Structures are given as structure tokens and as C-alpha cells.
Amino acid sequence: MSPVVETSRIVIVGAGLGALYAALELAPRPVLMISPENLGEGASSAWAQGGIAAAMDLSDSAEAHAADTVGAGAGTVDAQVAAMVTAHAREHIVDLTEKGTPFDRTPEGGYVMSLEAAHSAPRVVRVQGDQAGHQIMQTLIAAVRATPSVQVCEKSMATGLEVENGAVTGVWVRASDRESGAVLIRTPAVLLAGGGSGGLYAHTTNPPRVRGQVIGLAARAGAVIADAEFVQFHPTAIDVGEDPAPLATEALRGEGAHLVNSAGERFMLAIDPRGELAPRDIVARGIFAETQADRRPALDTREAIGAEILTRFPAVAKACLRNGIDPAREPIPVAVAAHYHMGGIETDMQGRASLDRLWVCGEAASTGLHGANRLASNGLLEALVYARLAARDIAAVVAEGTAPPVDLAFPEDGSDSYAPEALQALREAMTAKVGVLRNAGGLGSALARIDALERAQASSVTFANMCATATLIAASALERRESRGGHYRTDYPESDPAQARRSRMTLNEAQKIRAACVEETR
């Protein structure tokens, strides 16, 4: 029988931006953070290059930011959510500044604002060009380390939720760095802040462990999942064969870098008058088409940025140089890669999920902010806003008090392993059939493939969590018979005004769709 640990600590699953920020907001209420890696490692937040979108300039406004968010989201953004999130943006930038984040500043002391795709004004606050995620994470990690109410359990990962009468009462946790049995942590409240699902694809910019597990474990517990079909593929992952693929931040295009193919042609201007600064889904399909046509696309920064790329965008420069590319002298080869999941666990405006005593923030959540196509640099902003909202809502439910540290002793006997080749097969099926371009036949075959892989690895809870999220993405994509934002159907290439709404699906509903696809293949 698995051991059970009772605690009055609030359990936060994840260790990225949302998790850290929420833990600080909850202080002095005692918190237990479940972190698969050491703090600062393995979180998508730390890899975020662009920055945080916020109307900090006097010539800009939260209303304009909200309008751009709604416009980029292709008809499915919740306008009330967009207005709320953008209105709170400034206070979070100020808060992070006061905590010590070294945002880029002008000689006069103002914030340096960067232009990114689909923004009507420069409003992305950065750190050292492309170091925003890393620097913000380091600031928050230092604050968490100095907060006595926060206990961090590193090298551990959540694999399931305990639910009684529609309410979450506990979290199942295992060791993440070795084989172990599971421990059930009973807790008064759970905040899921464990990232998205990009690693379910063979080509991704996400950290290796971010494979939809948190969305999947919530779905397996019965939570409603929203907008699962909307996956954002970043147009400019650096195409050097690394897994995950390093990212060429969108800020480069904001600075004037342009896309060319192997013939030296600027192909985006023929696709959209906004060229390289068109919404990400349009740029991604443009680049994908060049790749498919064997006209290898590349990002040319030489004229716009020149040798300054080496100092102004150190992460990009480092990735290029270790692969023998000098970005000051030659174009950077790029390809499309899964980057951000607009969908996730449905939450209300306080971060509450459909299950009682369960809150969600960050990429694992679907708040209605992003719609069908996330506006650049709104991801970190959403994580901050909803981390605070969720923390305050939890604080209204969980009384202040003290709690001893949780002693997590994982049983030595137990295994949750799965075959590495099964994971690779899952990732390849998602890329080939549920990627940039989709159609009914491909989505149906992907669902049948996911079913077979899950059955073959039936003993692994972690693999079941991944397959749950993959199933929801593919089933939701099959049900949306139109093209919208990041979801593009070659058999339904036009947007249907009647479908300009968010989607909602439970895992049970998705599995019925999957079962029908399995029957069709027999």
C-alpha cells in the first residue's frame, strides 16, 4: 500500500514562473513546491527569450494591448480576460523590478520597449536582449529561497490527483530522477503550474520534461480541458538538429531581421503585407511551406543587427556559435517547432479549475487570454497575473497557520517506466499528423496510434498522462472542422464564423472520439 502524507501545506506542482510567484504571494501560508528538477532547471519560463508584454510607455495603453491580444487570437479570445490581464501588466513589471529583476532601461530610467509580431506598439519589456525568462527566474528563485514558509521538494514529480466528490484532496508524487513508488500527499489546496505540452512533438523549443503531463493528470482526474487543439508553433526555432531546438527570439524580427529562403528570396511579403511581423501562425505556415519545398528558410540578421547580435542577444549567439554558425556573417537556418499550448485546463478568472480545490496558472491553464493564437510575450504575463489571482483565491480558502516540513520518503519498490521508443513514436506521430498542417485522415490515424502506444505502455502513469494530453489535442483538432489561428486544416482551410468560440472537452469525451478512430482503422 502506498504511503500517505497529511499536510496543511498548499501544494504547488511545478517550479516555473507561475509556481514561484504564487508561492511568494501565498507567504506566510506554508507551501510545498513539487519540482521535477533543481529550481531554475527544466522550466519553460527560464527559456523564454522575448520578455513580458506590458503597456509601460506613456504613448501606449492597456486597452491597445488588449485589442492586439483579441486581434491575434483569431476570434476566440475572452475579451473580459484580455482587458483584465493587460490592465494588471504594469503592476507586475513594477513588482518584479522591486524584487530585483534587471530589466533593460533607457539612460533616462525608462523601460526599453521591444516590438514583436502583431503588437501595434513596442511594449515588450526585456532583460539583456534575450535573457528575460532566465533573469526573472533567478530573481524569484532567490526570493523563494529566502522565504521560510516555502518548502521545495526537488527531483520529484506529480503523477496524479486524488479526487473525492468532485474535490481534489491530494497529489500523487514520485521521484523524478530514479525509479520509485508513489506517495499520496493529502492537502487542503492544489495549484498546478507545471507547464505545457510542446515536448509531445518531435520538434519543439520546450525543455525535455515538458510533455503535457500536468494537463494530462488533471484530465485523467476529470477536469475540463479547453482549447486543446490550439498549439502555437514558433516560426524561428534554430534548425541545427538539437532536441529541444534553440530559439531565435521574435525580438530579432522586431529589430528588422528578415526571412529568406535558400535562393535569397524574402518570401513572407508575398504571404502577408506585415511580412515577418505577421501573427505567428501565418509566419509559421510560411516557413513550413519553404521547408516542405526544400528551400531551406533562414533568418537574416546581418543588415538589421550585425555584429551586435553577439552581445545584444547572447542566447541566440551562443546557440549559433556552438553549431558553427556566425550570425553576424551568415543567415541563421530556422524551422517551425512546437512552442506554446494555448489550450489547457480550463480556469475561471480566479484561476479555479472545474474540480473543487484545484487551481491552475501558467501554460497548463486555459484562461481564455490567448484564443487560437497567443500574442507574442503574453505567456509570461498571463503566468504572473494568474499566479497572483490564484494565490489570493487560495488564501481566501486556506487559513493562515504554520506547518512542519513534509518528509517525502519515496518507496524503493515501484516503477513508472516506459519504453523510450514509445515516447519517440508518440512525438513523431504528433509532429507528422497533429502539427502545423492537419486533416481528418491524419488526425484519425494519430489517435489510433496514440491508443496503441498507450495500451502497450499500460503500466506507466506518466506515459498515460502524456497520451491523455495528446489525445485531447488530436480529438479537439478533429472536432474543429475549420482553420483558425494555430489550428490549420488542409481539408477545411477557411475559418467558419459559426465556430468562432472556445472548445471544451473532457478526457472521457476525447477517448470516445479516439475509440471511433480505432474502429475505423480496423
Cα(9)–Cα(151) distance, rounded to whole angstroms?
9
Q: DSSP letters along 125-184, please?
A: E-STTT-HHHHHHHHHHHHHHT-TTEEEEESEEEEEEEEETTEEEEEEEEESSS----EE
**Structural domain count, the chain:** 2
Question: For residue 509, is it within any domain?
Answer: yes
* CATH, residue 505: 1.20.58.100
Cα(497)–Cα(501) distance, rounded to whole angstroms?
9
Position 280 scores a pLDDT of 84
Question: For residue 71, is it within any domain?
Answer: no
Question: Are residues 171 and 158 in contact, defined by beta-carbon separation less than 8 angstroms?
Answer: yes
Of the three residues 284, 314, 336, the one that is the final residue of a domain is 336
Give me the average pLDDT of each 10-residue run along the chain (522 residues): 92 95 97 91 66 94 98 96 98 95 91 89 86 85 95 96 98 94 97 95 90 98 98 95 92 94 96 91 93 95 96 93 96 96 98 98 97 93 97 95 94 92 97 96 98 98 98 98 96 98 98 97 82
* CATH, residue 253: 3.90.700.10
- Provide the H-helix boundaries in 228-292: 251-254, 280-292
**Hey, which residues are catalytic here?**
280
Position 46 scores a pLDDT of 62
Position 308 scores a pLDDT of 96
Question: Are residues 300 and 394 in contact, defined by beta-carbon separation less than 8 angstroms?
Answer: no
- Provide the H-helix boundaries in 298-417: 309-312, 314-321, 378-397
| Domain region containing 332 | 236-336
Of the three residues 336, 355, 376, the one that is the final residue of a domain is 336
Question: For residue 473, is it within any domain?
Answer: yes
Question: For residue 435, is it within any domain?
Answer: yes
Burial of 147 (0-12, 13-18, 19+ CB in 10 A): middle
Position 42 scores a pLDDT of 65
Q: What is the largest CA-CA distance in the chain?
A: 69
Q: Parallel, antiparallel, or unpaired for β 10-13 and 52-53?
A: unpaired
Question: For residue 495, is it within any domain?
Answer: yes
Question: For residue 39, is it within any domain?
Answer: no
Question: For residue 85, is it within any domain?
Answer: no
Of the three residues 289, 314, 336, the one that is the final residue of a domain is 336
Question: Are residues 470 and 426 in contact, defined by beta-carbon separation less than 8 angstroms?
Answer: yes
- Pull the grid cell for residue 85: 490581464
Q: In sequence order, what are the residues at sequence separation of 6 or more whose Cβ sits closer than 8 angstroms to the Cβ of residue 404?
A: none
Position 41 scores a pLDDT of 75
**3-class SS letters over 442-511:** HHHHHHHHHHHHHHHCCCCHHHHHHHHHHHHHHHHHHHCCCCECCECECCECCCCHHHCCCCEECHHHHH
pTM of the prediction? 0.94
Question: For residue 311, is it within any domain?
Answer: yes
